[in-house]
Chains A and B, each alone.
Chain A
Amino acid sequence: MALIAELTHRCPMRCPYCSNPIELQRARQELGTDQWLRVISQAADAGCMQIHFTGGEPLVRRDLETLVAAAAECSLYSNLITSGIGLDRTRLPALVSSGLEHVQVSFQHSERDLAEHLGGYRDALSKKMAAANLVREYGLPLTINFVVHRQNIRHASDMIALAISLDAQRIEIANVQFYGWALRNRSALIPTRDELKELDEIVSSARIRLRGEITIDYVAPDYYAERPKACMDGWGRRTLVISPSGYVLPCHAAHSIAGMHFENVRDGATIAEIWKSSQSFNQYRGTEWMLEPCRSCDHRERDWGGCRCQAFALTGDAAKTDPACALSAHHARLNQIGEKDASSQTAAFVYRQFSGMR
């Protein structure tokens, strides 16, 4: 079991493909250090073996080192998922001595100007490269993550080359997932089928070339898929997410499902109790809740019917088959949306921002 600890929604970057919700939680709503410390030890007691510190930008929290140390104390495998901004010669050594085991740095592009434009942050590329180099200098394993979309997909080879030059142990190439800000900016981000085909070939040949040396994990796109992804490996099966303000969620985007109630760690129940017995975790756990065509489908224990949040966003009912599946009645419409948005030619997007800040 893994805990995804979303420490904050604050982030110096402003990526238009960010999967954080449109309504970002503010600093004053965030859990305090003591609350996180309790969550971490409860998560270990509940059977978690890993913790992924993410956000927003987790380095914004000055107590990150304390939380990493607490995770190490509980033998949780700890991973920092960062933009790299702020990972300097003060923070990284402190994190390493607190017991941090792995760092993932995200990149927007392999070219300076485009990286700056796509992240909405000045000189992002050189700062990220410096952060990645520092991670290797301190001997920590490094994942380089690229979210790919129409505005960088043609540069996938260069991005892989960049990750290799940074001595990454693992490369994650993730097609943009349309939640939160990314959904709002879909028409500027979604690639065409041809671009995806080209990406597929680049990834497959890089995998062969780098076999045994660098792992490449690939997150497939949804909008032209035939079968959905096993979102979160199934609702309430292996992963729980805690939002900056303490909501315990089966998936990052679960809050987008209108009408569902989620527990908050502030209300007193332990992580083990919430994991085992909450209404929200049990709602879509296993296969009992499924409707047709999932209910009688052979794939139901492989993909668990896909993503509940995507089903809700595109059909209005979270219990329906994920429209990424060809057997969904909404599948053709999803393909059409994809094709229409992909051909829209627009490159204009809105940067991620806190409301009231425009």
Chain B
Amino acid sequence: MKNTSVTLHSVPRLKPHMRLRLDKVRNVWSIQAPEKMFVLDAPSHAIASRCTGETTVERIVEELHSIFSGADRDTIAEDVISQLQDFVDKGVVEI
């Protein structure tokens, strides 16, 4: 069994068979995989698009903090970790 708990030090990567695609008809981002489709809202898209296997969760939190400047850093960190944990549990992202 792999380690599957997301922390600030994890380096998340979208699994190779998961594709980030813009649904042009509905104008929403989504993740496409066989037998699965996940519709993403703006924050979850911001997170998913940073799962490149090169960026730590900590760094993603900082980037989002500078974009969504209204929210405080700890809240963003919590949201990012829980979203990523959900992606990991659903087999969308690996760490």
Contact = CB atoms under 8 A, between A and B. Distances in A.
Q: What secondary structure prevails in chain A residues at the interface with B?
A: mixed
A114 interface: no
Given A75-B21, A169-B15, A47 B1 contact: no
B52 interface: no
A62 interface: no
Nearest to B94: A212
Contacts of A143: 34
B34 A104 contact: yes
Contact of A212 (B4, B16, B17, B21): B4
Of the four ranges (under 10, 10 to 19, 20 to 34, 35 or more), the interface on chain B belongs to: 20 to 34
A88 B74 CA distance: 52
A46 interface: yes
Interface in B10-26: 15-17, 19, 21-26
Nearest to B2: A212
B1 A49 contact: no
A97 B33 CA distance: 19
- Which of A45, A77, A79, A102 has the most chain B CB within a 10 Å cutoff? A77
Contacts of B32: 49-50, 77
Interface string B79-90: 000000000100
Given A77-B32, A141-B17, A211-B2, A49 B91 contact: no
Nearest to B1: A211
B71 interface: no
Contacts of A52: 34
A215 interface: yes
A208 interface: yes
Contact of A101 (B3, B17, B25, B35): B17
A79 B37 CA distance: 13
A68 B41 CA distance: 29
A298 interface: no
B34 A211 contact: no
5 contacts: A47-B26, A49-B23, A102-B33, A102-B34, A212-B1
Interface of A: 2, 45-47, 49-50, 52, 75, 77, 79, 101-102, 104, 139, 141, 143, 169-170, 172, 208-213, 215, 217, 238
Given A49-B32, A172-B35, 12 more contacts: A49-B23, A77-B32, A101-B17, A141-B16, A141-B17, A143-B34, A169-B17, A170-B17, A212-B4, A212-B88, A212-B91, A213-B2
